[in-house]
Structure 1
Amino acid sequence: MTYSTSNRYQEGTADPQMPTSPLSNCPVEYIHMIDGQFTVKMSPVEFLRYIDQKQNEELLLKSLVSLPGWLMGRCFEAERAENRAKNRSSTLLPCTETIGHKNERAYILTLGPFSNDTQLDFWRMVWQSNCKCVVMLTALREGDKKKCMQYWPEESGECGPFFIIIRNSEQFNNYVVRQMIIRKKEETRRLVHFQMTSWGDAKRHMKIDTLLQLRTSVNSITFGDAAPIIIHSGPGISRIGTYISLDILLRQGSGDNIIDIIDTVVKLRSQRAYILNARKEHQFLLRALKVGFSPNQDGAAEETKDDESEEDLYVNAQGKGDIYYEDGEEVVLWMNTVGPYHNRQETYSYFSLPFCAGPKESIGHYHETLGEALQGTELEFSGLDIDFKGEVKKTEYCSVELTQDKFEAFVYAVKNHYWYQMYIDDLPIWGIVGEISDSGEDFYVWTHKKFDIGYNGKQIVDVNLTSEAKKKLSPGAKISFSYEVHFTPSKIKYEKRFDKYLDPNFFQHRIHWFSIFNSFMMVIFLVGLVSMILMRTLRKDYARYSKEEDLDDMEKDLGDEYGWKQVHGDVFRPASNALLFSSLIGTGYHIAVVTMCVIIFSILGDLYTERGSLLSTAIFVYAATSPVNGYFGGSLYARMGGKVWIKQMMVGAFMLPLAVCGTAFFINFIAIYYHASRAIPFGTMVAVTCICIFVILPLTLVGTVLGRNLAGQPNYPCRVNAVPRPIPEKKWFMEPSVIIVLGGILPFGSIFIEMYFIFTSFWAYKIYYVYGFMLLVFVILTIVTVCVTIVCTYFLLNAEDYRWQWTSFSAAASTAGYVYLYSFYYFFFKTKMYGFFQTTFYFGYMALFSLALGIMCGTFGYIGTSYFVRKIYSTVKID
């Protein structure tokens, strides 16, 4: 059965055994005594008084249960051959259109899509009905049962002729609201998608409150809109019936002050067979109506479980908030950047397009922090007059006459799906510049901005933007821009105001949890395997070496001597190019400490809620922990007998900063050529240079001096031979180059799922906030890397190859090579990036990320292997 709202899907002759009038066969018990009057109608107050008596509730439930389940004509469309494979039920129509209260709007009741064919039918139905709102009353899976397929993309994707974009996803209490954009050819429409993630029952009052809250949110979106609301659950219709009947009856009670439960259910069944057919559904409906009509219930359940008043919430927020406004105080609207939707990092100043500013006098330039400047934040005053709690009706603030250049600039922006970003009270807002007509020949720009600002006490806790009034672009036309502002009280706590920008359904998806569990099991397996193999193998080695020690020199067969003991005189020989090696190890220690500190600070301080704070924190921590680099790099260089320690200290201090600055400056030249906001200001360059010279270098020097004096003396368990031992030939898979290539596979396997989430948060429109997951993955990566490199080193030494330092480092560092290869896959198959600037930016910074990851993993591998090597050679008697 195809999805459609056309009447032809309800054709058929009426069944002669079915009642022709919904109430013609209603038995007498459907009519109840209220205040001495027989009636099926009652006011909300009468309903509350009536339903408080248990026997009345049972009588009403009995009447509802005894209603006929089928009160509509037969349908034959589902029996057509092309529709049979699409039917999820033999008794339920895939789609039915029903009438709401006073016929002012319709609902489209449908079953959840379950295949690619029905997914396409669903989006076609959304488009044909010009639907603005979809209500999904189920999770994708509940328990072990699949209820519905995920018919929307994670970020953006195609379904037949439709291209769907997820603009924003906001998590509430047991439901999610997704702002979507649907494009077909050049026409663009907006859709709000509500998904109930947990369905309640009559025994759990909070679930009823949540359903009422969902209904209020849906009605606030669809108020005054004649387009139908599409409602679906999984394969059934019980939840749909509960929601629709609750909505209709609450509307009856608030609008007419009269409700008729029996008539409402009968009318619904005359349009949708077997809807609201079970006793538990009727009981849930009655209890939900009782909550909805209660005097302390305004129809909008709160977003918190506590019955806190607005003043209580204000007091709770006041202790944690930062910015407070007095009534009438100025609220600044900052315009940030504009750029192509698919190229998140390709951004330009908002006024680089021929937008015009408001008439209000400028309050001065916004001074960016170091992190904001490096990330391309470029805030400019909008010129719009907004006062706290001050309502602004639709007001024209400026106009632009489209010259040929301005016309072409707007057309280029609309063709490339330009988006812009603004800030009010540090809360981000996004909007789209314009749209293209179906023919692809006409271009439109949105000219009206409607701001809905929620406040809690004296603080702003929510901001929303609605773009309206699109105007056709043409050379010489005059485009007028306007805005309006509405303030509404909100119960959102100030410290929770950023939660709407997070996407728990994405980051806390079961796949994420499964990947963590899978990596954890890999750790257990590897640790157990390494322990078992090495303990058994080393025990045999020790036994063999002990037996050889008991033999006289004449009894020994030198040809039988083999294994890792034979290289005891060379195993602690300094690594080749000791200066570079020690600098890499010191830098690896430094990166590991910075990573751990930033993760912990992010867990404790929610750094993701402030612009540029994460990058600023990383720079500060990197500079402050520079002694770590000098201590471990300088001490290792001293133990290896290095003489030019000042040179080693300079290399260690500037190795990573020079790589980062070199790449950043190269990309900066491209950004300057493109006039992009990512171009780093000269003052920021000077600031970074000063940090390197006057902070990082002196602190690295302090660490180097301490390391050379406290841990710079070699204390190896074996004496190093004066003449290096020749390395015998070995099988090809024992060669260091092969070990290096294979060494990074398992560590990469333990983190590649997390790489997807990290990449998506940086290169797409997601905010990474699950730093607890990142900390756990960091620990797992460390353990897996150490285990793998210990095994690789054991095989290398057993082949009598003592070049373990560089091999252990490189085998662990090869993980970064696989990450960089994965970045190519992600770029070509998971994004729609294009253009020279965005491509250079992506692969340039992915190379830096992979370099830092490789140095850190290489250091982990060397640390674990160094301890292992020292341990096994300290327990063997060496002549």
Structure 2
Amino acid sequence: MKTRAKPVWRLVLSFIALRSCAAFYLPGLAPVSFCEEGTSGDECQSTIQLFVNRLDSVESVLPYEYDVFDFCQDAEEKRPSENLGQVLFGERIETSPYKFNFNKNLTCEKVCTRTYDISAKDDKKKLDFLKSGMQLNYQHHWIIDNMPVTWCYNSAFNKKNMYYLFNHVDIMITYHSGATEGWKGARLVGATLEPKSIKHEDENKLTCDGPPMEIPNEFTSNTKVTYSYSVKFVVSLWFTLMCAFGDILLGNDQVNGLSQEESGWKQVHGDVFRPPRKGMLLSVFLGQGTQIFIMTFTTLFLACLGFLSPANRGALMTCAVVLWVLLGTPAGYVSARLYKTFGGEKWKTNVLLTALLCPGIVFADFFLMNLILWVEGSSAAIPFGTLVAILALWFGISMPLTFIGAYFGFKKPQPVRTNQIPRQIPEQSFFTKPIPGIIMGGILPFGCIFIQLFFILNSIWSHQMYYMFGFLFLVFIILLITCSEATILLCYFHLCAEDYHWWWRSFLTSGFTAVYLFIYAVHYFFSKLQIVGAASTILYFGYTMIMVLIFFLFTGEWRTKYSPSTYGIVLSEFHIAWP
């Protein structure tokens, strides 16, 4: 009877959940209602503003602002306030001359006309820059009601020595009416456009049915370009998302314990805490890795909850930078405590390296890439004032917090003493030597993420929107577990071979995943991208090296304790795991 009743209770609970399911809006992401002209008020508005962002290309890493290509500009141009994340990512959002009223269809409306005189040097330069943008397939990024505008076109033009300019767009906006939902007006649910090339014979009487707008390779006469648009509103079906309960059944498999030999790792208990070579550098790496790990975990967790939605542009990068600045205390604590465990006495050098070494490498690389963007005149170049603000956050907040953490870390006593005479390490087989173990250790963690890595690289370099933060957070947890288990297993094999030099090996085993990340990035560059030019190539690999360094510190830092009750050995902090 109990077995049959259980599904009934689940059905009842699911029904209650469906009836009590309610939606909520995150701060800054509340929907905007629109209504027809003449009926607007506090609850809805009638004017729809189309925003334009930077232009970028899959063949070039250099983005440019919308105005650089001499497109039609808004007479009352306004730029929404940009947060730190938008500035670092090179977001350049501004208003456009495309403005229309809700539910008012328009056909072949004129935006502006641009005239280019072949005798004017500036006009010829503008057209040459426009043609170079066509050659590199630079693409627009438009925004309506904080939604990206999707577009598709038919490339049926193939005339030689001729450029075809898309000077007309057909915009279709889908909306859902609130008449049956209890709120006034309507809400936009999608926006698509189809660009077209149309030569307007008479700019005062547009018909939008002429031949394509052609720009010759060599200018022989003055060129006139008239930009136009049409807009159509369509009612969309509203698909309601429903809440539901689901049961996740976890099967616990019982694993028989393996018999342990009375030799091997038990004989090196007096040497496992022997300080490693370059202990200063290892402690600095682990401190920085802790800082990056907490920052990444918190950022992804907030993004998974929806607080860092892609609609809230720049929020992800802003959150990551702010968290990194505020997490200097854990970095200083971990680095100082490990360094004291290694018997180090140069605590000032340790703290300064923790606060300056890895961030300094990242900032130097980032600054060099920004210089290239400045020279190339790209819109992604970070303003000098923003760089000064980042330095102020680094030296004014992060560094003092690192010193505070180091103060508490140096107060902790050394956990375990070591033998006075180091134990002799026997001859090792090929698989227990450091290099083969480190190379093999990074394969499994990389295998967990390489599919998701493809979508992340597409989001960064192919300019696609990334939404799957819930799945990314799950992959992140799987990566942590895989790094821990792979490192524990290989480290156990090394100890069974009576090799107690495990400090650096445990860090590099999972940290070697970053090498596979770099190899995959190189493969992605040559197989998926069509980037041309020395500047774009340098920018790609420059930013890739920053990602590789951060990933190296993060994966190398993550580790799990061995359980003393399981292995019968006093290794309270065996795997560099610090509480």
Using the size of structure 1 for normalisation, the TM-score is: 0.52
Distance 1:821 1:435 in 2: 35
- Counterpart among 107, 110, 119 of residue 396 in structure 1: 110
Distance 2:336 2:27 in 1: 49
- One-letter amino acid of the structure 2 residue matched with residue 429 of structure 1: V
1:411-450 map, 5 Å: 411-429=131-149, 437-450=157-170
Secondary structure of 2:498 counterpart: coil
Is residue 337 of structure 2 the alignment partner of residue 635 of structure 1? Answer: yes
Is residue 476 of structure 2 the alignment partner of residue 778 of structure 1? Answer: yes
- One-letter amino acid of the structure 1 residue matched with residue 261 of structure 2: K
Contact 2:304 2:473 in 1 (8 A): no
- One-letter amino acid of the structure 1 residue matched with residue 361 of structure 2: A
**Could you say which structure has the larger radius of gyration?**
1
Q: Which moved more, 1:622-631 or 1:315-324?
A: 315-324
- One-letter amino acid of the structure 1 residue matched with residue 194 of structure 2: T
Contact 1:419 1:430 in 2 (8 A): no
1:478 Cα shift? 1.1
- One-letter amino acid of the structure 2 residue matched with residue 473 of structure 1: I
Q: Which structure exhibits the higher relative contact order, with contacts defined as CA atoms closer than 8 Å and separated by 6 or more residues?
A: 2
Structure 1 residues 481 and 433, CA gap change in structure 2 (3 angstroms): farther
1:794 Cα shift? 2.5
Name the residue aligned to 2:265: 564
- Counterpart among 342, 347, 350 of residue 63 in structure 2: 347
Secondary structure of 1:419 counterpart: coil
Contact 1:739 1:811 in 2 (8 A): yes
1:702 Cα shift? 2.6
Contact 1:790 1:868 in 2 (8 A): no
Distance 2:507 2:369 in 1: 30
Name the residue aligned to 1:740: 438
Is residue 193 of structure 2 the alignment partner of residue 465 of structure 1? Answer: yes
Deviations 1:582-607 (A, max 9, x none): 12112222222222212211111152
Is residue 573 of structure 2 the alignment partner of residue 873 of structure 1? Answer: no
Secondary structure of 2:30 counterpart: coil
Distance 1:423 1:487 in 2: 16
Secondary structure of 1:396 counterpart: strand
Name the residue aligned to 1:540: 261
Is residue 401 of structure 2 the alignment partner of residue 699 of structure 1? Answer: yes
1:813 Cα shift? 0.9
Structure 1 residues 753 and 594, CA gap change in structure 2 (3 angstroms): same
Distance 1:397 1:770 in 2: 37
1:395 Cα shift? 2.6
- Counterpart among 298, 307, 327 of residue 597 in structure 1: 298
Distance 1:385 1:783 in 2: 51
**CA RMSD, Structure 1 to Structure 2 (Å):** 3.5
Contact 1:330 1:386 in 2 (8 A): yes
Name the residue aligned to 2:507: 809
1:795 Cα shift? 2.8
Distance 1:681 1:433 in 2: 35
Structure 1 residues 875 and 844, CA gap change in structure 2 (3 angstroms): closer
1:436 Cα shift? 7.9
Name the residue aligned to 2:498: 800
1:374 Cα shift? 0.8
Distance 1:427 1:635 in 2: 48
Structure 1 residues 691 and 355, CA gap change in structure 2 (3 angstroms): same
Contact 1:627 1:702 in 2 (8 A): yes
Name the residue aligned to 1:147: none
Structure 1 residues 588 and 871, CA gap change in structure 2 (3 angstroms): farther
- One-letter amino acid of the structure 1 residue matched with residue 192 of structure 2: N
Distance 1:843 1:326 in 2: 48
- Identity among equivalent pairs (%): 29
- Counterpart among 308, 312, 324 of residue 610 in structure 1: 312
Contact 1:816 1:850 in 2 (8 A): yes
- One-letter amino acid of the structure 2 residue matched with residue 620 of structure 1: V
Distance 2:438 2:388 in 1: 40
Name the residue aligned to 1:582: 283
Name the residue aligned to 1:847: 545
Name the residue aligned to 1:477: 223
Name the residue aligned to 2:55: 338
Structure 1 residues 572 and 832, CA gap change in structure 2 (3 angstroms): same
Secondary structure of 1:364 counterpart: coil
Secondary structure of 2:481 counterpart: helix
1:655 Cα shift? 3.5
1:373 Cα shift? 0.8
Distance 1:354 1:829 in 2: 33
Distance 1:314 1:786 in 2: 38
Is residue 552 of structure 2 the alignment partner of residue 838 of structure 1? Answer: no
Is residue 79 of structure 2 the alignment partner of residue 380 of structure 1? Answer: no
Distance 1:842 1:826 in 2: 11
Secondary structure of 1:418 counterpart: coil
Contact 2:174 2:191 in 1 (8 A): yes
Report the count of equivalent residues. 503
Distance 2:150 2:214 in 1: 21
Is residue 381 of structure 2 the alignment partner of residue 672 of structure 1? Answer: no
Distance 1:840 1:396 in 2: 41
Distance 2:153 2:286 in 1: 49
Distance 1:829 1:336 in 2: 28
Structure 1 residues 647 and 316, CA gap change in structure 2 (3 angstroms): closer
1:854 Cα shift? 1.8
Secondary structure of 1:621 counterpart: helix
Distance 1:423 1:875 in 2: 56
1:620 Cα shift? 2.1
1:416 Cα shift? 2.3
Deviations 1:665-702 (A, max 9, x none): 11111111221122111122122112212222222223
Deviations 1:462-501 (A, max 9, x none): 32223232411143121111233344454558x99xxxxx
- One-letter amino acid of the structure 2 residue matched with residue 372 of structure 1: Q
- One-letter amino acid of the structure 2 residue matched with residue 575 of structure 1: P
1:327 Cα shift? 4.8
Q: Which moved more, 1:365-374 or 1:319-328?
A: 319-328
Secondary structure of 1:339 counterpart: strand
Name the residue aligned to 1:236: none
Structure 1 residues 766 and 481, CA gap change in structure 2 (3 angstroms): closer
Deviations 1:64-118 (A, max 9, x none): xxxxxxxxxxxxxxxxxxxxxxxxxxxxxxxxxxxxxxxxxxxxxxxxxxxxxxx
Deviations 1:19-75 (A, max 9, x none): xxxxxxxxxxxxxxxxxxxxxxxxxxxxxxxxxxxxxxxxxxxxxxxxxxxxxxxxx
Distance 2:155 2:355 in 1: 51
Distance 1:577 1:341 in 2: 42
Structure 1 residues 875 and 315, CA gap change in structure 2 (3 angstroms): closer
Contact 1:419 1:433 in 2 (8 A): no
- One-letter amino acid of the structure 2 residue matched with residue 589 of structure 1: T
1:807 Cα shift? 1.0
Distance 1:607 1:318 in 2: 11
Contact 1:420 1:432 in 2 (8 A): no
Distance 1:336 1:585 in 2: 39
Contact 1:435 1:445 in 2 (8 A): no
Name the residue aligned to 1:715: 415
Distance 2:98 2:91 in 1: 20
Distance 1:485 1:781 in 2: 47
Contact 1:434 1:445 in 2 (8 A): no
Secondary structure of 1:400 counterpart: strand
Distance 2:24 2:371 in 1: 50
1:400 Cα shift? 1.4
- One-letter amino acid of the structure 2 residue matched with residue 624 of structure 1: L
Distance 1:631 1:323 in 2: 46
Structure 1 residues 666 and 745, CA gap change in structure 2 (3 angstroms): same
- One-letter amino acid of the structure 2 residue matched with residue 348 of structure 1: Y
Distance 2:386 2:540 in 1: 21
Structure 1 residues 823 and 341, CA gap change in structure 2 (3 angstroms): closer
Q: Which moved more, 1:571-580 or 1:727-736?
A: 727-736
Is residue 126 of structure 2 the alignment partner of residue 409 of structure 1? Answer: no
Distance 1:679 1:875 in 2: 50
- One-letter amino acid of the structure 1 residue matched with residue 376 of structure 2: Y
Structure 1 residues 315 and 693, CA gap change in structure 2 (3 angstroms): closer
1:809 Cα shift? 0.8
Name the residue aligned to 1:829: 527
Using the size of structure 2 for normalisation, the TM-score is: 0.77
1:793 Cα shift? 1.9
Name the residue aligned to 1:369: 83
